[in-house]
């Protein structure tokens, strides 16, 4: 089905099931330990062996020699596999560095060998016996030092690296009020609860993997490419995933190394990355340096806005597109953005929850706070004055729906923003200085083609099958709600099957496109099934109603179970969005508010309250959507106050590679979070009239915390995270 915008009235609009705060249907499996995660699939294939990956001990250089004889002779060892005896394996185009390295080394902890043994412990012990002689070379590990050699990269998924409208330099020079400031964000790591893990099994030239992956079709494509086999010969299963945040968008070394090892020793091989391995072996959010210039007239209208961003990646990698939201967020006739990419020999930089906006707004929304202060304006009002209803770079292109102003006003009112003292350091509570800060939230709304198959059986049970994934976001539940609404059945009559490459190809989970796109695909398949059912019942498709397990037309109703019969009925379709993105600028919006205390003795920052209002189209499930937003606000608070993957500049690796040293917020760090969704329906986004919401909550929240810290104590920090050493 091609989506014709705007969406017309359709059965989703009944909102009998969709839009209700339904508990997650996978929740009981996850909380009772019965959801089968990849590494726990002892049941799926017999005779599984354990693989343990050895990572490179250098970041840049080559292996002069590797001696695996002692490891191969160790107890329980089946085989030791390196690039020398692995057989042919190609680097998939979509992956930057080789997932099986050697003899050239591209980054620290790049996989160079896998030991296969009868137990995990035997494999791990034997891996310590491998002797590697390295020739270390000089690498580039410091973004500040590499900045001057950064170049304009090729246009990527986010478009041209540079944009320019009007005369930025002239307007900035003439503006009566200006800001020119540079902000930095550090490398950050995803830290999902479930480490990357795969069981690989070869049978007659066909590869089956049970893995933890966000994008099933990409995994299938890349495994086929790696091993030179047709995509039909690859079966990928990933029904439960303990978090991804972008680290599992593409296959990583666990999948390639398990498959390589299994092929080499003729046994299924099970591999998990250890927690420390995830930091340097997989991907991370790259550090950025961002220069922002804003010029405004005395009334606070932005006349010039410029945002330049520098980041680094391995050769062939991608930039962090931190300047991109500045193309769309605020009005202003004269504008420029520029994205530059340096070569760094750190592990691969890649997408982490809200790539682009998350670090971009960490900078832009402090800059907006600084400008508001220079103008003597309230920061909420300054943003409202500079709202735009069209893409400021392409004024003929309207937003599909944009209620930034509503979010800011509603968020401010709910938070009690009017009680804030504009002057920093004005509020004391014992030894604490207390302050309030705010920031806008903005995240693009991407739509992706998504397919599903929906069937009904003789018991009236509706089964949905799609290769969509649930990375902890609630996909199972909103898909079940969609099918229940469309087919007129109760939630307990819907079975949802996800994460299997034998099912129709979906949008997958990434870039907050999954919720809206995958449910729209289920909607399309349900429309097709409703047509089949109506036809079989002898009804005119345009005049039927699906409710209470029956299809009704006029005064005649037939049970779905009877129509399905012994054979059952099913239909498959997908939603396609065509050139929707050309017609409308699509994005989600919000306003973040935070109150912090700064300890006058130690400089410790505690968040005391946080809240926000968010506009993201129709909210399909307020309960799971709220969970997404509070989780993202928590993650953004971590970005503000603690997350920092520290680079050892001598050896080129992240030093703090475990959760003891790489700090993320815990319950005690996070106060009550007030989340309000603007009542909104975006009929230009999909038949669901929904948009993405999984990443919106992290966008801007770190700046709201940073602005609250400034308001509390008058110290303006432009270098994240805001650790106490920077405050005293």
Rounded to a whole number of angstroms, the minimum distance from the CB of residue 123 to ligand MOS is 30
Backbone φ and ψ for 199, nearest 5 degrees, come out as -110, 125
**499 touches ligand MOS (CB under 6 A):** no
> Which position among 55, 61, 244, 597 is part of the footprint of ligand MOS (CB under 6 A)?
244
Q: Which residues pair with 573 in a beta bridge?
A: 452
* Closest separation in Å from C-beta 352 to ligand MOS: 5
Query: Per-residue string for binding with ligand MOS, 158-197, x by CB under 6 A?
Result: ----------------------------------------
In the numeric block, the tokens 């996800």 are attached to 498
**At 534, phi and psi to the nearest 5?**
-60, -45
CB count in 10 Å sphere of residue 653: 24
Which candidate, 319, 366, 338, 321, places its Cα nearest to that of 169? Answer: 338
- Residue burial 272-289, b: 16+ Cβ < 10 Å; e: rest: bbbebbbbbbbbbbbbbb
In terms of CB distance, is 5 or 339 closer to ligand MOS?
339
- CB nearer to ligand MOS: give 379 or 521: 521
Stretch in the footprint of ligand MOS (CB under 6 A) among 46-54, 243-251, 584-592, 711-719: 243-251
Strand partners, 156: 159
Q: Using the rule CB under 6 A, give the single segment among 242-250, 259-267, 516-524, 572-580 that binds ligand MOS.
A: 242-250
- Between 357 and 682, name the residue whose CB sits nearer to ligand MOS: 357
Task: Give the residue among 55, 563, 49 at the shortest CA–CA distance from 279.
Answer: 55
Site residues for ligand MOS, 340-399, by CB under 6 A, read 351-353, 355
Task: Name which of 513 and 523 has its Cβ closer to ligand MOS.
Answer: 513
Report if residue 327 touches ligand MOS, rule: CB under 6 A.
no
Instruction: Round to whole Å and give the CA distance between 76 and 102.
Output: 25
The site map against ligand MOS for 11-40 (x = CB under 6 A) is: ------------------------------
Give the nearer residue to ligand MOS in terms of CB position, either 358 or 404.
Answer: 358
Using CB under 6 A, which of 161, 192, 242, 246 touches ligand MOS? Answer: 246
Instruction: Give Cβ neighbours of residue 214 (< 8 Å, ≥ 6 apart).
Output: 241, 244, 246, 248, 249, 469, 471, 508, 509, 510
CB of 510 to ligand MOS, least distance (A): 3
The distance of closest approach from Cβ of residue 190 to ligand MOS in the complex, given in angstroms and rounded to an integer, is 8
In 634-682 the beta strands, taken as DSSP E runs, fall at 647-648, 653-654, 673-677
Residue closest to ligand MOS (Cβ) = 246
Q: What is the nearest approach in angstroms of ligand MOS to the Cβ of residue 520?
A: 18
- Cis amide linkage into residue 188, ω under 30° from 0: no
Residues in contact with ligand MOS, counted by CB under 6 A, come to a total of 11
Cis peptide before 608 (omega within 30 of 0): no
* Closest to ligand MOS by CB, 283 or 570: 283
Q: Which of 218, 245, 415, 476 binds ligand MOS (CB under 6 A)?
A: 245
Q: Please identify which of the residues 370, 572, 643, 695 carries the catalytic annotation.
A: 695
Residue 576 designated active-site: no
Among 276, 379, 511, 631, binds ligand MOS (CB under 6 A): 511
- Rounded CA-CA distance 405/392 in Å is 16
- What does DSSP assign to residue 691? -
Phi, psi angle pair for 85, to nearest 5°: -125, 15
Nearer to ligand MOS, 420 or 443 (CB): 443
- Which of residues 346 and 698 has its CB atom nearest to ligand MOS in the complex? 698
Q: 82 in helix, strand or coil?
A: strand
Residue 694's nearest CA partner among 359, 356, 399, 445 is 445
- Give which of 518, 515, 522 is closest to 625, Cα–Cα: 515
Report the distance separating Cα 531 and Cα 527, nearest Å.
6
Which residues carry out catalysis?
Answer: 695
> Which residues of the shown chain bind ligand MOS in the complex (CB under 6 A)?
214, 244-246, 249, 351-353, 355, 510-511
């Amino acid at each position: 089905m091609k989506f014709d915008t705007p969406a017309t009235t359709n059965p989703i609009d009944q909102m009998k099931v969709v839009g209700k705060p339904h508990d997650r249907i996978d929740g009981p499996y996850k909380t009772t330990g019965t959801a089968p995660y990849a590494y726990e699939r002892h049941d799926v294939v017999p005779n599984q062996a354990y693989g343990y990956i050895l990572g490179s001990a250098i970041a840049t250089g080559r292996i002069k020699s590797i001696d695996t004889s002692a490891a191969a002779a160790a107890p329980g060892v089946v085989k030791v596999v390196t690039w020398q005896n692995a057989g042919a394996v190609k680097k998939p185009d979509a992956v930057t560095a080789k997932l099986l390295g050697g003899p050239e080394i591209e980054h620290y902890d790049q996989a160079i060998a896998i030991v296969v043994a009868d137990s995990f412990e035997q494999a791990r012990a034997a891996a310590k016996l491998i002797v590697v002689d390295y020739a270390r070379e000089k690498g580039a590990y410091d973004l500040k030092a590499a900045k001057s050699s950064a170049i304009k990269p090729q246009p990527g998924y986010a478009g041209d690296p540079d944009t320019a409208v009007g005369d930025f330099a002239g307007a900035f020079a003439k503006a009566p009020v200006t800001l020119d400031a540079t902000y930095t964000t550090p490398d950050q790591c995803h830290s999902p609860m479930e480490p990357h893990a795969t069981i690989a099994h070869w049978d007659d030239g066909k590869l089956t993997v049970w893995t933890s992956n966000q994008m099933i079709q990409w995994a299938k494509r890349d495994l086929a490419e790696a091993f030179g086999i047709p995509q039909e010969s690859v079966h990928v299963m990933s029904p439960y995933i303990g978090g991804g945040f972008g680290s599992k968008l593409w296959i990583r070394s666990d999948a390639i190394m398990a498959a390589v090892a299994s092929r080499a020793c003729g046994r299924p091989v099970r591999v998990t990355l250890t927690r420390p391995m995830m930091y340097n072996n997989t991907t991370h959010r790259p550090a950025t340096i961002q220069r922002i210039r804003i010029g405004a007239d005395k009334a606070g209208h932005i006349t010039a806005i410029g945002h330049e961003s520098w980041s680094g990646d391995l050769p062939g990698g991608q930039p962090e597109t931190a300047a991109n939201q500045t193309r769309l967020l605020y009005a202003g006739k004269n504008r420029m953005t520029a994205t530059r990419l340096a070569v760094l020999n750190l592990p691969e930089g890649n997408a982490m929850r809200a790539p682009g906006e998350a670090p971009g707004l960490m900078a832009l929304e402090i800059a907006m706070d600084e400008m508001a202060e220079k103008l003597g304006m309230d920061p909420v009002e300054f943003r409202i004055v500079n709202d735009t209803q069209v893409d400021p770079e392409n004024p003929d292109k309207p937003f599909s729906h944009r209620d930034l102003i509503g979010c800011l006003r509603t968020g401010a009112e709910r938070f009690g923003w009017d009680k804030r003292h504009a002057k920093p350091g004005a509020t004391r509570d014992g030894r604490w200085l207390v302050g309030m800060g705010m920031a806008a939230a903005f995240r693009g709304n991407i739509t992706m083609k998504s397919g599903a198959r929906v069937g009904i059986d003789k018991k009236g049970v509706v089964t949905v099958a799609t290769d969509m994934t649930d990375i902890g976001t609630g996909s199972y539940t909103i898909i079940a709600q969609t099918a229940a609404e469309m087919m007129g059945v109760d939630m307990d009559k819907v079975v949802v099957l996800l994460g299997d490459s034998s099912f129709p190809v979906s949008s997958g989970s990434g870039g907050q496109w999954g919720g809206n796109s995958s449910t729209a695909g289920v909607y399309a398949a349900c429309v097709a099934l409703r047509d089949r059912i109506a036809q079989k019942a002898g009804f005119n498709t345009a005049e039927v109603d699906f409710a209470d397990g029956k299809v009704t037309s006029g005064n005649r109703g037939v049970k779905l179970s009877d129509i399905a019969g012994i054979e059952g009925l099913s239909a498959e379709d997908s939603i396609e969005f065509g050139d929707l993105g050309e017609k409308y600028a699509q994005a989600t919006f919000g306003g973040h508010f935070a109150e912090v205390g700064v300890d006058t003795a130690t400089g410790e920052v505690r968040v005391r309250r946080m809240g926000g209002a968010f506009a993201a189209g129709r909210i399909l499930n307020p309960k799971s959507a709220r969970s997404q937003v509070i989780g993202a606000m928590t993650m953004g608070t971590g970005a503000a106050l603690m997350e920092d993957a520290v680079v050892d500049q001598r050896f080129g690796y992240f030093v703090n590679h475990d959760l003891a040293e790489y700090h993320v917020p815990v319950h005690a760090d996070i106060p009550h979070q007030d989340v309000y969704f603007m009542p909104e329906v975006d009929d230009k986004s999909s038949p669901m009239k929904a948009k993405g919401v999984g990443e919106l909550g992290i966008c801007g929240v770190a700046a709201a915390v940073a602005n609250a810290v400034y308001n509390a104590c008058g110290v303006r920090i432009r270098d994240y995270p805001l650790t106490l050493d920077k405050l005293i």
